[in-house]
Amino acid sequence: MNALKTVTTAVVLALAAITMASAASDYAMSPTPEDQKWLLPATPPAPADNQPNAARVELGKMLFFDPRLSSDSNMSCASCHSPLFGWSDGLGTARGTKSKVLGRASPTVVNTGYNTIHMWDGRKATLEDQAMGPMESMDEMAMDLSALFKWLNTSPGYQTAFKKAYPGEAIDAKTLSKSIASFERTVVSNESPFDRWLHGDAKAMTAEQVRGFRLFTDAGKGNCAACHQAPNFTDNGFHNIGLASYDKPSPDVGRFAIKPVKSLKGAFKTPTLRDIELTAPYFHDGSAKTLMEVVEHYNRGGVSKTDLSPEMKPLNLTREEMQAIVAFMQALTTPPKPFTLPALPPQ
């Protein structure tokens, strides 16, 4: 009886292996020339008047982690964009001043330097544009800007740092924004198993992960790359993906509030998938706890059909295909490196 059981188990495993091998053979398991479009430039682009250098990055890092840039001196940019949580915060939706629960999740800072538009609703055009946003918002850091710049202009440590970073320029919103943006451009993920595979390391990804990539890019299967485009896994566009929260009374209309075009009702910016494994929960409303929940949402073609983007339709993926796509997204994580917090000026 035990021998029969052993043989049966072996047959089942062999059949499973044959099935997986057959499915994998439908796709190229090695990178193709077309796949090279997914390789990111080594560094993000920067405007001519804010080319990065060590002094600018160090100043931006100090400001990014300094809670004194908030009204209660207890919140910094890093409170919502922490290296501990993939440069997000691990929460469904962000917390603002006095722990106020906000309506949207904190997007990751990872690879934002490659983006051409910023924020869930695209209201900021550049990293420099968005840097002051949380300080200006009365729901977020709620900072008195006149008090902020009075302090920065009298702080010996910051006076020295600004002078090194932007000699001859004032300590004001412009230089503060430029320095924070300079630091944010250093938060880059481009050394993941997927990147190593693209560079020719055949063993960097598993067969399941490679198959997941092929399903991800296959217009007749996952079709994920229609929106999560090369090389940063975003089209920098806006889509209503049919989240259940859009059926609630007075839903968040997203991009429509900034650009009142009917096709943008309930549409939110496509986020990068780089380091996505580190930034749960997912979606702008934090409604998906796992990557599998994300893929299941797309597989059913969304929940709310109101103002649904035309890209959204049922995918009819099998469980194994969904698992392969999840496995691929897990291959987009760059191994973490030690991160040193900045030393802040004492006053």
Single-letter residue type at 160? T
User: How far, in Å, CA of 143 to CA of 123, rounded?
Assistant: 20
- Contact call for residues 220 and 335 (beta carbons, < 8 A): no
Cα 23 to Cα 14: distance, rounded to the nearest angstrom: 14
Composition of the chain by helix, strand, coil, percent to 5: 45, 5, 50
Question: Computed over its alpha carbons, how large is the radius of gyration of the chain?
Answer: 23
Q: Considering the candidates 58, 128, 140, 321, report the single residue annotated as catalytic.
A: 140
Residue 169 appears among annotated catalytic residues: no
**326, two tokens:** 């999840």
Task: Return the residue matching tokens 């990293």.
Answer: 127
16 CB neighbour count, 10 Å cutoff: 11
Q: Which of 79, 225, 53 is nearest to 143 (CA)?
A: 79
Q: How far apart are CA 156 and CA 178, in angstroms?
A: 20
Residues that are catalytic: 140
